[in-house]
Every structure is written in structure tokens, then in C-alpha cells.
Amino acid sequence: MAPLIKLSTLFFLWAISASIVMAQAPKDLNTNFEYELKLSVDASKRAAYLKKMNEQPSPYEKVFTVLSGSVQVANIVDQVKFTGGTYQITSVGNLIAGMSTALGGQRLVRESQGSVSPSGLVSLVYQEKRGNTDLLISRYEPPKKTITFYKGSFRSPTGSTPLEGSLIDLVSVGYQFIDRALPTKPVTYQVSDARSVKRYTLVPAEVWEFPIDGKKIKAQRFYKTTSKDDTATFEIWFSQGRNLPIRSVIGLSDQYGATIQVDLKKIPAL
């Protein structure tokens, strides 16, 4: 099988979220959400892209040449805290035993901090470190209507851009609607990945049923629109009731030839 994807791409999760005006703020909570991450690959797409671009695969990619079909490759634990008008979400992704050994125990650590506004979670500081790459940070200052990006620490800004309105990030995506009504029409959001801000449109769709903890949980699917310049797909399912994130699926572009699926292992005590 041809080489597949970079470690940093494996950990690219959750691309979009929401900011809808609701009447009730989410309740205070402090709990963990546990997920398993599965990866399926299309080696031909990745190989064709590398050939087209005259590029060579990274050393990390060779670790994934043994994959066939959909395979669990990592576990993720999100510690979610809502307290009064603020929130903090710390997400840690660890590769499973075999891959962790092959890649020197590298992991993904992300953190989102911000405020809880009438329109949802507002990301003020988002940071992530993927394996042995540099720490990346974005800091949003609503009074100045500016978001600034950093590499390594707050002492090393890499650029800034004007920004008006609420901002979300790749970690707050799944928790935007806890104890809030889900949107009934397509909505567009501003999303930080600690490198830049992108605009995504999320469309409500049908209801599915998932077996979790021996129970059948109904959850509504939402999907991201695509375009010529943005071919990556994204879907996320929110459970009916408290709107917990049950599953998310990211279909990466032909550049990577991979699909990432993240499933909630059990319903946490809230």
C-alpha cells in the first residue's frame, strides 16, 4: 500500500461549530467525554496527489501503510468545564499502543477557553500542539475586533486580522449546543484553527439512531457545505435532548486520501 497521511493530518478534527441566539445558557458542568478515533484511507488518492505535486511522503506516513479499511488509531478525552459565564475545554488525543510506540508516544493536546454568551460559546484563546510540532495559539480580543496568531508562545506573534462577531474553534465545536436548541436552518460560522479563520456553513439534516451504553440514542446530523476551493467534507451528530456530540466524520481532500471518524464511547454523567 502507498504511503498515506501525516500525523498532524490524522489529528485534524472538528472543523465547524455554531453561534445561534438562544434564551437559555448551558448549565454548569465538569465532566469528561471519551471518544475513539478511526481512520480509513484511500491510498490511491494520496499517491496520485504526491505524484502530481512531485512530493515525497513524510516519515510519519510510512507508519500508516499497514492500515486496511477502517481502523481505530487513537483515543481522545475532552475535559469540559462550564462555570458561570466562562468555559474551558482541554482535549488530549493519544495514539493506541502500536502506533504510539512507532511514533514515539506523540499526542495531540488542544485547549479552548472563552466566555458563554447569549449566542453560544465565544473562543477567546485556542491553542494546540500536534506531536512534535510547534505550539500554535490564537487569541481573540472582541473590544479590539482583532484575532492574533502566535507560534511557540504569546511572545511570538505571527500575524493578526480584523474580526467582528463571535468566534469558535476546533475544540468548542462539539459543545456549542449543550442545553441549547439546535439550529433549524443553515448557519455560517467563523472558526479558528490557531492558524487562520475560516467561514463554514452548517446544514441541519436527518435524525439517526446510535447504540451507546446498551441504549438507542437518537441524534441529528449536520453537514458542512463544500465548494471548489474547499472540498473537505464534515458531518456531526448531536443527541436529542441535551445535544451532546455523538459522532463526527471528516472526509479529507484528495491531498490526504483519508476519512476520520470520531465516536463517543459512552454518555457521560452530566
* 244 vs 67: CA distance, rounded Å: 30
Asked if residue 172 belongs to a domain, the reply is yes
Asked if residue 77 belongs to a domain, the reply is yes
Share of the chain above pLDDT 90, in %: 54
* 161 vs 153: CA distance, rounded Å: 18
Phi-psi region of 45 (alpha: psi -120 to 50; beta: other; left: phi over 0): alpha
* 225 vs 246: CA distance, rounded Å: 20
Domains held by the chain: number: 1
What mean pLDDT is reported for the chain?
A: 82
Residue located via cell numbers 500575524: 159
Asked if residue 2 belongs to a domain, the reply is no
* 230 vs 86: CA distance, rounded Å: 32
The answer on pLDDT for 23 being more than 60 is no
Angle at 116 between CA 113 and CA 121, to 5 degrees: 70
Q: What is the mean predicted confidence (pLDDT) over 148-154?
A: 97
User: How far separated are the first and last CA of the chain, in Å rounded?
Assistant: 44
Q: What is the mean predicted confidence (pLDDT) over 200-209?
A: 95
* pLDDT band (50, 70, 90) for residue 64: low
| Domain assignment of residue 183, given as a range | 7-264
- Other beta carbons within 10 angstroms of residue 115's beta carbon come to 15
CA 193 to chain centre: 9
pTM assigned to the model? 0.81
Asked if residue 120 belongs to a domain, the reply is yes
* pLDDT band (50, 70, 90) for residue 10: very low
Question: Could you say which DSSP state residue 183 is in?
Answer: P
213 DSSP β-pair partners: none
Share of the chain above pLDDT 70, in %: 76
Q: Concatenate the DSSP letters of all residues of 1-27 into one string.
A: ------HHHHT-----------SSPPP
- Any residues with CB less than 8 A from the CB of 244 and at least 6 apart, and which? 33, 174, 178, 238, 264, 267, 268
The answer on pLDDT for 180 being more than 80 is yes
Asked if residue 270 belongs to a domain, the reply is no
pLDDT at 206: 98
Q: How far are the Cα atoms of 47, 70, 91, 175, 179 from residue 41, in angstroms, in the given order?
A: 11, 8, 24, 28, 35
Q: What is the mean predicted confidence (pLDDT) over 108-126?
A: 92
Q: What is the pLDDT of residues 233-261, one digit of tens each?
A: 899 999 999 999 999 999 876 666 788 99
The answer on pLDDT for 63 being more than 80 is no
Residue located via cell numbers 508562545: 153
Instruction: Provide the residue type at 165 as one letter.
Output: G
Asked if residue 241 belongs to a domain, the reply is yes
* 91 vs 175: CA distance, rounded Å: 12
Question: Could you say which DSSP state residue 240 is in?
Answer: T
